[in-house]
Amino acid sequence: MGQCSRVVIIGGGFAGLSAAKALARERRVSITLVDRRNHHLFQPLLYQVAMAGLSPADIAAPIRSILSKQKNVSVACGDLQRVLPEQNQVLTSFGTLQYDYLLLACGAMHSYFGHNDWEEFAPGLKTIEQATEIRRRVLEAFEKAEITTDADERRKLLTFIVVGAGPTGVELAGAIGEMSRFTLSRDFRNIDSTIARIILIEAGPRILPMFAEQLSSRAMRDLEQLGVQTWTSSRVTKIDDSGVEVSGDRIHASTVLWAAGVQASPLGQQMGFECDRQGRVLVAEDLSVPGHKNIFVAGDQCCFKSGDQPALPGVAPVAVQQGRHFASVIRADLDQKTRPSFHYFDKGQMATIGRSRAIAQVGKYRMSGFLAWVAWLVVHIYFLTGFRNRLFVILSWAWSFLTFRRGARLILTRRWRLFEEANT
Amino acid sequence: MGQCSRVVIIGGGFAGLSAAKALARERRVSITLVDRRNHHLFQPLLYQVAMAGLSPADIAAPIRSILSKQKNVSVACGDLQRVLPEQNQVLTSFGTLQYDYLLLACGAMHSYFGHNDWEEFAPGLKTIEQATEIRRRVLEAFEKAEITTDADERRKLLTFIVVGAGPTGVELAGAIGEMSRFTLSRDFRNIDSTIARIILIEAGPRILPMFAEQLSSRAMRDLEQLGVQTWTSSRVTKIDDSGVEVSGDRIHASTVLWAAGVQASPLGQQMGFECDRQGRVLVAEDLSVPGHKNIFVAGDQCCFKSGDQPALPGVAPVAVQQGRHFASVIRADLDQKTRPSFHYFDKGQMATIGRSRAIAQVGKYRMSGFLAWVAWLVVHIYFLTGFRNRLFVILSWAWSFLTFRRGARLILTRRWRLFEEANT
């Protein structure tokens, strides 16, 4: 194993970053962290960027800068192209890296269940670019409704559909409700933004199925008060530029957002590892890939099952704990001890609805309403990376809470060239 | 003139916004402000967005929200298509507007002096999209330099060229110098970011020609200390993907930024108004267009000359004062008084160089160094729109000043679709 074990981490999300940090004082390793993006993204708050409450830089920080003081890490911005397990090598867009330990933490993207053409009409929410695209669509719908003289068109523009009622879908729908009822209501002259229809469509029998039934019905009532209609047991059969089709019925809407399906990075399947239906790699008790003692998978890309329990959900705490576990396995190997098995310590889960309500569940303990929202706030601020970001997010929230305004209501295009535009 | 004079303002920049605000308590007018963007942009700080110091939302605010309490204004987001002076009408993308008074305040864009194909290789800095594009290019150059193994390529990646040494060019060059010397120096392992070459190219004999000679040479020395080479009397003859050609010599650089020329909105020329070489409309003493008593031009689109003085420069104070003057001309008309002539009250000018230096000139009074920088800070914070923005900008600056870090170091692409990308 030589002087220093070479650790390669693919992905700077929660799993990859916590793995690198957990090895901070370990002099026996030298780490290379590869990510195609230069920034770590605090995904649990991404919906707030989409809803104009926060700026992208409030919830993202350069990976390089987060790890700048940790001398045993170097960060490289590039794409993973192939893994060669026999040679212990990864090929990247900037050259070949040799590893003694490899952590795959490439995360997941949204899935349209075979209807990738729906993406154009119903963006998902995984990257900052998608968040600003959603922000653009929602704000532009109100702007266009203000100037149109056609009543049908106005109705279509003021109809917002969110597909999928997991935490992201509920948070998006709640935030649109809040925005139309409070933030925008004073700014328009011709339309009454409070008449906006927000429809949350869920294929399953209830919203937020991972929570206790009592909490999901509480969330449904809270959503209703923000003007969100919830359609459960409803399946979307088509999405196009005029709206969606739900079990054959057409609903006209100019803004459709997708929060329904998730698919792991295709890498696991490409490498021939055993995967579950969502493309997540099935791992052994120490998080290694069966048959490859030095390749590990963590985070949303990993399917970990202990006994006959269901696989762990794709949430940040799971990723963080798995990243740390990877570090402790390396330490065990270097100390020539037995590898520990991964155990998930469930700290509970929470979801927020609008500006001052949330639901939370920790084991058997349940909480809802304003107190749960305060708890949600504290937890999210606590885990946000970087002092600057925490300060700025607290201030943005305090400002929005007191004034009902939102700080990042910018409609930006994706074009920057003047003359390209002028010529077309 | 009926009950209420209809005022149409095209453009929500400094001129248009100050005109609308100056008419706030005037019950005899009803105003429509049209802009193709939903936000007012505080352009003097745009270079800080390009240099990762501020987030777009820190220096931009929705026009609708700025004017939400002013009951005599409605804001419409759309494009101006034509002005019909005979009918007193403007045609827009959302319909026809009738006016009694029209203010054209459409601003200016950068000009490549007939070489529009240079834009692809050398973006200018007028919009938020351009600022984030510049940010992406500068940060990506450092990222690529970190992973390349080719020394020539690395040298090219670490060479930054800024064309044009007016305030924007100087501020951009100084900020790149500061970023490479302080912010980034601790974050990279393979490159020494402090060896970055920054070249500021100016066709004229000195930088910042609008300032006194003593101040421009002071600025030049300050730039030098940040690693910026200044090439005066040098004309760029070609720009392509490998760099620039200066009087026949080729300099290899992957990042070239354009801060050289400005061109007013083409509207004035299209309407057959008399314009100067930069396309700015020549106006009468009351800012009206000769021959059209009820059409006015203000801001960067306006060419105002009094006597044999040179035309007023395209800076925010001129635009603000001209916007207010438009309001006072309307008041004079409504009161059946003589229209006042426009007089510019020159409050002086300033430019900042890097993190703690600036130059300022007010009449005969001159200032440079740290004190001038503090003055620059106070003036820019004071004029920034909106309490939230002021607070956030102060905090961002305080944080950057104390830590040498920058809060918005995000490399963002212009693509948001996953599956589009996967297919190409």
B412/A128 Cβ within 8 A: yes
Rounded Cα–Cα distance for residues B118 and B112 (Å): 7
Phi-psi region of B166 (alpha: psi -120 to 50; beta: other; left: phi over 0): beta
The beta-carbon neighbor of B147 closest among A39, A77, A148 is: A77
Q: Smallest Cβ distance to A414: which of B69, B120, B414?
A: B414
Q: Across all residues in chain A, what is the average pLDDT? A: 92
CB contact under 8 A, B143 and A38: yes
- On chain B, the residues whose CB falls within 8 A of the CB of A62 are 187, 409-410
Distance CA A115, CA A258 (A): 12
Rg (CA), chain B: 23
d(CA B337, CA B315) in angstroms, rounded, equals 30
Partner A contacted by B143 (CB < 8 A): yes
Q: Nearest-CA distance from B395 to chain A in Å?
A: 8
Does pLDDT of B421 surpass 60? no
- Sign, CA dihedral A213-A218-A222-A225, equals positive
Tokens 């070239």 locate to B256
DSSP letters spanning B11-56? --SHHHHHHHHHTTT-TTEEEEEEESSSEEE-GGGHHHHHTTSS-G
Among A85, A62, A110, A71, residue whose Cα is nearest residue A297? A85
Query: Which member of A171, A213, A420, A421 is catalytic?
Result: A171
Beta partners for residue B35, in sequence order: B77
User: Which tokens hold the place of A321?
Assistant: 């704990």
A74 touching B, CB under 8 A?
Answer: yes
Using a CB–CB cutoff of 8 Å, tell me whether A411 touches chain B.
yes
The answer to whether residue A424 neighbours chain B at the CB level (below 8 Å) is: no
Mean pLDDT of A225-233: 95
Residue-wise pLDDT for B315-361, tens only, equals: 999 999 999 999 999 999 999 999 999 999 998 999 999 888 999 99
Predicted confidence (pLDDT) per residue in A289-328, tens digit: 999 999 999 999 999 998 888 899 999 999 999 999 999 9
For residue range A100-150, what is the model confidence (pLDDT) as tens digits?
A: 999 999 999 989 999 999 999 999 999 999 999 999 999 999 999 999 999
Measured between beta carbons, which residues in chain A are less than 8 angstroms from residue B187?
62, 64-65, 68, 75
Q: Kindly report the nearest CA distance between residue B224 and chain A, in angstroms.
A: 27
In chain A, the N- to C-terminal Cα span, in Å, equals 59
Least CA distance to A189: which residue of chain B? B74
Other C-beta atoms within 10 Å of B242: how many?
A: 13
Give the H or E element holding residue B230.
strand B228-231
User: Going by C-beta distance under 8 Å and a sequence separation of 6 or more, which residues neighbour residue B424?
Assistant: none
Supply the pLDDT for residue B121.
95
How many cross-chain Cβ pairs, A to B, lie less than 8 Å apart?
Answer: 177
Q: How far apart are CA B87 and CA B345, in angstroms?
A: 35
Q: How distant, in Å, are the alpha carbons of A120, A123, A256, B415 from that of A241?
A: 9, 12, 9, 19
ipTM, interface predicted TM-score of the complex: 0.88
Residues of chain A in contact with residue B77, where contact means CB-CB under 8 angstroms, are 140, 143-144, 146-147, 411
Tell whether B132 lies on the interface with A, counting CB pairs under 8 A.
yes
- What percent of chain B shows pLDDT beyond 90? 79
What pLDDT is attached to residue B420? 57
- Active site residues per annotation of B: 171
